[in-house]
Amino acid sequence: MLIFHNPVHDQHAGRQEMFRGKLVPCHETPARLEYVMDALRQRGIGELRAPSAPDMELVKRVHTPRYVDFLARAWQDWLALDPTNAELDILPSVWPVRGFRHDIEPTNFAARLGLFSFDSGCPITAGTWTAATAGAACAIDAARAVTGTGGPRVAMALTRPPGHHAGADFFGGYCFLNNAALAAQALRDAGAARVAILDVDYHHGNGTQSIFYERGDVLTVSVHGDPTTEYPFFLGYADEAGEGAGFGANLNLPLPAGTDFATWTQALQQGLSAIAAFKADALVIALGVDTYEGDPISKFKLKSAHYLEVGRALASLGLPTVFTMEGGYAVADVGVNVANVLEGFGG
């Protein structure tokens, strides 16, 4: 298994996120990835590779060019407001909800920040662009590795920030560029006619769903906490089936907070059956391990040993597979849990 790791992930290190009226320390920290790297090294799992330069042409097909340009310039626009802003992270605070215009782009930076985001818990820092684009490159390289002749069957994009909440033109939920969507598009470009994305993170992969919602060539499946009570709240319900050519190519499997492995794994099997019925040629797994019982912001009850079984179940599809790294905040256990999935998957 090839592991494309993001050597500059730590340049994205948010200080604070808004939570219940207070700024609190960010959950999505560089240490998360260091624990995964340590666990893989200790167990001899995978061969590490550094990513190549990001394919910005591909990035601008999955995301809108104006969003990509916004993100690329955000930090310099922030400093232009006031040079002392270098000491602060960027957090949005105003959004165009129902009835506001979405067809205009104000020049005011705070307004543009709101236009391209959906929450106040996802800081942009000085190094966010650098880290996010290197992560995107890991995802694209991983996809190209599993589709090349003589390549491995499985590769992982071991990167942060995560990606599955990022849509074509918005950031949020700690995500900026949608690594899983980029991997799926790279698999399509490399000749896979039908690609499935299976998102096993605790949170609904709203960005991934939105990007492919009207496409029939990419099946999106997500097993997640019921959005009635769990983030991202406004998408991820069972009746979202896709639209137009994409009708029937989106499957949401929401489960109540408190769900244990026995119930969770039934939903996983349902997702795997849908992928088999879709006759996917390649698979992307948006791997979050915030389904873990010890996760500080999530409410499923998976135990570390269960992740070995998860890996075996994912491998049963027998498809060329790319893993992307999504959530998981029980920092010291994230490494063991990710390593267990990869060990269970094998190869």
Question: 173 or 320: whose CB is closer to ligand OKS?
Answer: 173
To the nearest 10 degrees (0 to 180), the angle between helices 306-315 and 331-345 is 40
The bridge status of strand 321-325 relative to strand 282-287 is parallel
Do 240 and 250 contact (CB within 8 A), yes or no? yes
What is the pattern of x (binds Zn ion, CB under 5 A) and - over residues 26-45? --------------------
Question: 261 or 292: whose CB is closer to ligand OKS?
Answer: 292
Do 170 and 116 contact (CB within 8 A), yes or no? yes
Instruction: Label residue 225 exposed, middle or buried (CB < 10 Å: 0-12, 13-18, 19+).
Output: buried
Q: Residues 6 or more apart from 145 whose CB is under 8 A from it? A: 2, 4, 49, 151, 152, 155
Residue 327 lies near Zn ion (rule: CB under 5 A): yes
Residue 203 lies near Zn ion (rule: CB under 5 A): yes
Question: 17 or 333: whose CB is closer to ligand OKS?
Answer: 17
Per the DSSP assignment, residues forming a β-bridge with 286 are 199, 324
Omega before 161 within 30 of 0, i.e. cis: yes
Euclidean distance between CA atoms 249 and 132, whole angstroms? 28
Question: 163 or 242: whose CB is closer to ligand OKS?
Answer: 163
Question: 164 or 188: whose CB is closer to ligand OKS?
Answer: 164
Residue 225 lies near Zn ion (rule: CB under 5 A): no
CB-closest chain residue to ligand OKS: 327
Question: 9 or 188: whose CB is closer to ligand OKS?
Answer: 9
The bridge status of strand 154-158 relative to strand 195-199 is unpaired
Q: Which of 70, 129, 176, 202 binds Zn ion (CB under 5 A)?
A: 202
Q: Which of the residues 165, 204, 224, 306 is marked catalytic?
A: 165
- Select from Zn ion, ligand OKS, none the partner in contact with residue 9, using the beta carbon and a kind-dependent cut-off of 5 to 8 Å: none
Residue 141 lies near Zn ion (rule: CB under 5 A): no
Tell me which stretch binds Zn ion (CB under 5 A): 38-46, 192-200, 281-289, 300-308. 281-289
Binding stretches for ligand OKS (CB under 6 A): 17, 19, 121, 165, 173-174, 201, 203, 231, 288, 290, 297, 326-327
Euclidean distance between CA atoms 89 and 246, whole angstroms? 38
- Select from Zn ion, ligand OKS, none the partner in contact with residue 121, using the beta carbon and a kind-dependent cut-off of 5 to 8 Å: ligand OKS
Taking the alpha carbons of 226, 231, 233, 236 in that order, is the dihedral positive or negative?
negative
Residue 232 lies near Zn ion (rule: CB under 5 A): no
- Select from ligand OKS, Zn ion, none the partner in contact with residue 271, using the beta carbon and a kind-dependent cut-off of 5 to 8 Å: none
Closest distance of CB 222 from ligand OKS, Å? 10
- Select from Zn ion, ligand OKS, none the partner in contact with residue 173, using the beta carbon and a kind-dependent cut-off of 5 to 8 Å: ligand OKS
Backbone angles phi, psi at 160, to 5 degrees: -150, 155
Q: Which of 55, 199, 290, 295 binds Zn ion (CB under 5 A)?
A: 290
Residue 9 lies near Zn ion (rule: CB under 5 A): no
Question: 169 or 295: whose CB is closer to ligand OKS?
Answer: 295
Decide if 165 is catalytic. yes
Do 131 and 28 contact (CB within 8 A), yes or no? no
Closest distance of CB 173 from ligand OKS, Å? 4
CA 63 to chain CA centroid, nearest Å: 14
Closest distance of CB 17 from ligand OKS, Å? 6
Q: Which residues in this chain contact Zn ion in the complex, by CB under 5 A? A: 201-203, 288, 290, 327
Supply the residues annotated as catalytic: 165
